[in-house]
Amino acid sequence: MRVLPLAPIALLLVLVTGCNRNDAGPPPESRPAAGSTPAAATSGDATAVTMRYACDGNTNVEVLGADRARAALPDGHTVDLTRVADSMPPVFAGGSLYFAIGSTDAHLSQEDGKNELTCNPQ
């Protein structure tokens, strides 16, 4: 009848052995397969230039993804523009500038509507 006292000891050994194992990282099913390529970032690369426009007055505008644009002014300054929600055709605004994209060209202007520059796709 020595079997009963050995059962708790065996159970204790199994538990202790499981607690003292070396953890080599996440379980194998969550590790990427060898030779696999990392997944693309899901946040969308907002810095990727999707369209460039050359405007009058030595000014340029780059559209960055679907929701951002950047205007490069002749004095070396840049102005970040954000797309106006649900605007069709797309309109971007930032600082005191507005950039509106039409079917054949685009226009960059100040918020008061003055100094409108014509911009053409490059």
Classify each residue of 13-32 as buried b or exposed e, where b means 16 or more C-beta atoms within 10 Å of its C-beta.
eeeeeeeeeeeeeeeeeeee
| pTM above threshold 0.75 | no
The tokens for 32 are: 């990427």
Q: What is the pLDDT of residues 82-107, one digit of tens each?
A: 999 999 999 999 999 999 999 888 99
67 in any annotated domain: yes
CATH label of the domain that carries residue 97? 2.40.128
35 in any annotated domain: no
17 in any annotated domain: no
The residue whose two tokens read 């690369």 is 45
Q: Where are the alpha helices (DSSP H) in the chain?
A: 3-19
Q: How crowded is the C-beta side of 95, counted as CA atoms within 13 Å?
A: 15
Q: What is the pLDDT of residues 27-48, one digit of tens each?
A: 444 444 444 333 333 344 446 8
